[in-house]
């Protein structure tokens, strides 16, 4: 089939229902996300949907954002079945002009419209009820019905659908609802949402029939129904605690009012987080975590494309058949972005191998999942100083296939002898093949404890008369600690501020690095990479730890051996300095959109894993980091360079 490319003029967006161009506004983007969900998740046909359909409201005419009709009927006001109103995310349901009241007035004017959905700062669904006496009233509901049903039905496992870009908005609405209606601060609200995400993932992983993580319309409206949901979710959370005792304490509980709990369950219940593409749920999850936990300890989380670039480059320095045997560490793992990137590379490699080995697709996918879990549990390790981020990273890994048992709460810069026994048992210096990290950095969080500084050669390197530096920023010490974690010959991919690579006053660090490691690659990242959160200019440095013999020979020679270094200076990373996504456009500014195929791995009603394909409109981010990976892979895969790196 020939690929269809569409050019979208600046300031326009293409409607998924009509194909027409519409103004690219916040409201329109919300409407297009909902419209796509109606088509792909709820099963409605384009021919039964109208955009901005005019209805008579007394003596005036109004336009409803989306009107859904039964199949094969004339599109008239009296035939509307469902109404959807879409607002900007800051508009509240109580807004006088654009709130839920507007939706109810439309429902009241359409005699056969039974359900209405309002989406803004919250998602609300209302059912229009008519008494025997003809009086109209409205009752809060959980969801609109899927195609072919007159009312929402209990969800079976095989009816769950993968989420798309709307998952970011869903997570945000859920968090804000907890924050606004439970009286919790942002971080505690995040922790409660995290518990429910665990329950949701556990229910998907263990159920094949009707989902327990579900609330129907009748239950949503009644105190008894909400209490019944609370009992169900509490039991799910008990199961979660039994599976993940290293994440949740035995006495932890879900501390949400029944009404708040019902809202969050209603928002999440129709989607499968396990079946959602890794890129989608990774972006949604990291934005949720970042917006609530970012910043006071130098924690500016690494964009996923940077994680992917550094991970793929580090792994590319090894033969592919050794990838699953490599022990990999992130000693400042934050939300687990680098660890998840490793799992994604492993998964792609494993699936490629298993599809050749097994003719049965389901068997190949099951083996991929099993081997990925085993490999991650054996070889993937994370450390973070922030206990909240440790749990966030564990959840991230659970959603991507596991390895969550190996994320530890510890200060990587402390002497290893001071780590708690559980950490010291699993993490020793000199035992890792790859370290990938973005350490916290900044002069506002200096390390000035003499006991910690005494571990590091950098604290005294090139100092006169046996003196030592009184304090050092953490990123400088992390360079040395990361090399200490590595086996001789191991690789380090680390994000560093450019000051370390260019500041004359820090030349001693560069000389120390050249003494202890071989530079494989240096990637100068664009200014916008970490914006809008910080404008610090950064680079990714890929190093190979030298052996003691190499260091001795070079010292005798009085200089390092000559060797080649891969260098790149990408200009675009897929977003601008405000954090807004940048897509590929023509020189005239037209957005390039094409018909693409998205693949999803999901379980069928029989419990077997299968691959599904879905055709959808796609856009490419203007991101040059994948090109860096491609050029580097070509460069490093030359036989003479692989021999040089791997002995």
Judging by beta carbons within 10 Å of its beta carbon (0-12, 13-18, 19+), is residue 88 exposed, middle or buried?
A: middle
By the 8 A CB rule, do 475 and 440 touch? yes
How high is the pLDDT of residue 294?
53
Q: Find the length of the chain.
A: 647
Write the pLDDT tens digit of every residue in 395-427: 889 888 888 889 999 999 999 989 998 899 899
Per mean pLDDT, which range of 498-502, 600-604, 640-644 is the poorest? 600-604
Exposed / middle / buried, residue 94 (Cβ in 10 Å: 0-12, 13-18, 19+):
exposed
Fold of 294-580+624-646: Rossmann fold (3.40.50)
Spatial CA neighbour of 491 closest among 434, 436, 565:
434
DSSP 138-167: EEEES-PPPTT-SS--PPBGGG-EE--THH
Provide the pairing of β-strand 538-545 with 517-524. antiparallel
β-bridge pairing 60-68 and 82-86:
antiparallel
pTM (2 d.p.):
0.86
CATH 3.90.1570 fits 42-153, yes or no: yes
Q: Could you give the percent of the chain with pLDDT greater than 90? A: 53
Nearest CA-CA partner of 273 in 428, 396, 404, 367: 396
Residue 29 CB burial class (10 angstroms; 0-12, 13-18, ≥19)? middle
What does the block give as tokens for 400? 């991507």
Q: What beta strand segments (E) does 443-511 contain?
A: 486-497
Q: Confidence band (pLDDT; 50, 70, 90) for 497?
A: very high
Q: What's the burial of 151, exposed, middle or buried (CB within 10 Å: 0-12/13-18/19+)?
A: middle
Nearest to 199 by CA among 215, 223, 180, 216: 215
Q: Return mean pLDDT, the chain.
A: 89
Distance CA 109, CA 104 (A): 9
| pLDDT(220) > 90 | no
Q: Give domain limits for the chain.
A: 42-153, 161-272, 294-580+624-646
**Which of 387, 404, 580, 410 has its CA nearest to residue 481?**
410
Tokens of 228: 């019944």
Contact predicate 118/103, CB 8 Å:
yes
Q: Is the pLDDT of residue 297 over 70?
A: no
pLDDT per position as a tens digit, 359-370: 888 899 889 989
Residue 372 confidence (pLDDT) above 60: yes
pLDDT higher than threshold 60 for residue 606? yes
b/e map 372-408, b = 16+ CB within 10 Å: beebbeebbbbbbbbebbbbbbbbbbbbbbbbbbbbb
pLDDT at residue 614, rounded to an integer:
74
3-state secondary structure of 177: helix
In whole angstroms, what is the distance from residue 391 CA to residue 408 CA?
9
**CA atoms in the 13 A half-sphere facing the CB of 350:** 23
| pLDDT greater than 60 at residue 1 | no
Between residues 596 and 341, which one has the greater pLDDT?
341
pLDDT band with cut points at 50, 70 and 90 for residue 292: low
pLDDT in tens, 71-114: 999 999 999 999 999 999 889 999 988 899 999 999 999 999 99
What are the residues whose beta carbons fall under 8 Å from the beta carbon of 287, sequence distance 6 or more?
A: 168, 171, 172
pLDDT tens digits for 48-69? 999 999 999 888 999 999 999 9
| HEC per residue, 235-295 | HHHHHHHHHCCCCCCCCCCCCCCHHHHHHHHHHHCCEECCCCCHHHHHHHHHHHHHHHHCC
Q: What would the pLDDT profile of 476-493 be if each residue is shown by its tens digit?
A: 999 999 999 999 999 999
Q: Which residue has the tokens 């190996």?
A: 406
pLDDT above 50 for 296: no
- With H, G, I as helix, E, B as strand and everything else as coil, classify residue 78: helix
Q: What is the dihedral of CA 568, 570, 574, 577, to 10 degrees?
A: 120
Instruction: Between 575 and 283, name the one with better pLDDT.
Output: 575
pLDDT of residue 25: 92
What span, in angstroms and rounded, lies between the C-alpha atoms of 202 and 239? 8
Name the percent of the chain lying above pLDDT 70.
96
Residue (of 408, 401, 338) closest to 201 by Cα position: 401
Give the pLDDT band (50/70/90) at residue 222: confident
DSSP state for residue 561 in the 8-state scheme: P
pLDDT digits 0-9 by tens, 608-621: 777 777 777 788 88
126: β partners = 116, 140
Q: What is the pLDDT of residue 298?
A: 45
């Amino acid at each position: 089939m020939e690929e269809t490319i569409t050019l979208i003029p600046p300031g326009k967006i293409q409607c998924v229902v009509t194909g027409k161009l519409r103004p690219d506004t916040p409201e329109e983007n919300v409407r297009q996300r909902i419209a796509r969900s109606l088509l792909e998740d709820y099963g409605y046909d384009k021919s039964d949907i109208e955009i901005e359909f005019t209805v008579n409201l007394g003596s005036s005419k109004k336009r409803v954002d989306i009107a859904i009709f039964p199949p094969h009927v004339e599109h008239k006001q009296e035939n509307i079945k469902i109404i959807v109103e879409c607002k900007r995310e800051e508009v509240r349901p109580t807004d006088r002009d654009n709130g839920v009241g507007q939706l109810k007035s439309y429902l009241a004017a359409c005699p056969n419209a039974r359900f209405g959905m309002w989406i803004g700062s919250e998602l609300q669904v209302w059912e229009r009820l008519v008494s025997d006496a003809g009086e109209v009233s409205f009752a809060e509901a959980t969801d609109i019905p899927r195609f072919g049903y007159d009312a929402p039905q209990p969800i079976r496992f095989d009816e769950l659908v993968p989420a798309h870009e709307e998952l970011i908005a869903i997570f945000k609405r859920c968090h804000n609802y907890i924050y606004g209606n439970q009286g919790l601060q942002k971080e505690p609200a995040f922790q409660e949402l995290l518990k429910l995400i665990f329950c949701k993932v556990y229910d998907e992983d263990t159920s094949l029939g009707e989902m327990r993580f579900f609330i129907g319309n009748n239950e949503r409206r009644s105190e008894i129904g909400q209490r019944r949901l609370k009992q169900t979710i509490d039991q799910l959370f008990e199961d979660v605690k039994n599976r993940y005792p290293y994440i949740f304490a035995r006495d932890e509980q879900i501390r949400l009012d029944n009404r708040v709990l019902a809202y969050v369950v209603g928002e999440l219940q129709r989607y499968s987080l396990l079946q959602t593409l890794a890129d989608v749920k990774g972006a949604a999850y990291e934005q949720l975590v970042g917006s609530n936990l970012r910043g006071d300890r130098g924690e500016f989380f690494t964009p996923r494309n940077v994680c992917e670039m550094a991970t793929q480059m580090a792994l590319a320095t090894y033969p592919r058949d050794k990838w699953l045997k490599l022990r990999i560490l992130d000693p400042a793992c934050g939300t687990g972005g680098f660890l998840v990137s490793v799992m994604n590379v492993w998964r792609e490699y494993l699936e490629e191998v298993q599809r050749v080995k097994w003719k049965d697709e389901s068997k190949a996918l099951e083996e991929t999942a099993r081997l990925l879990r085993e490999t991650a549990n054996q070889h993937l390790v994370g450390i973070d100083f922030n206990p909240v981020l440790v749990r966030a990273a564990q959840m991230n890994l659970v959603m991507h296939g596991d390895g969550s048992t190996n994320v530890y709460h510890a200060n990587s810069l402390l002497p290893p002898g001071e780590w708690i026994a559980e950490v010291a048992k699993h993490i020793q210096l000199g035992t890792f093949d790859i370290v990938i990290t973005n350490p916290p950095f900044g002069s506002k969080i200096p390390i000035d404890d003499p006991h910690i500084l005494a571990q590091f050669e950098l604290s005294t390197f090139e100092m006169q008369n046996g003196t030592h530096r009184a304090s050092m920023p953490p990123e400088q010490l992390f360079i040395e600690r990361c090399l200490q974690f590595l086996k001789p010959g191991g690789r380090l991919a680390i994000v560093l501020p450019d000051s370390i690579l260019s500041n004359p006053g820090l030349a001693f660090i560069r000389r120390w690095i050249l003494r202890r490691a071989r530079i494989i690659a240096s990637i100068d990242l664009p200014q916008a990479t970490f914006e809008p959160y910080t404008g610090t200019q950064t680079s990714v440095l890929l190093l190979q730890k030298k052996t003691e013999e190499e260091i001795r020979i070079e010292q005798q020679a009085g200089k390092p051996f000559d060797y080649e270094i891969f260098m790149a200076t990408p200009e675009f990373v897929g977003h601008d300095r405000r954090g807004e996504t940048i897509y590929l456009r023509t020189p005239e500014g037209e957005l390039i959109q094409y018909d693409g195929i998205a693949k999803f791995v999901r379980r069928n009603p029989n419990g077997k894993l299968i691959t599904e394909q879905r055709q959808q409109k796609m856009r490419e981010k203007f991101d040059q980091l994948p090109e860096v990976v491609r050029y580097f892979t070509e460069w490093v895969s030359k036989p003479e360079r692989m021999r040089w790196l791997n002995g």
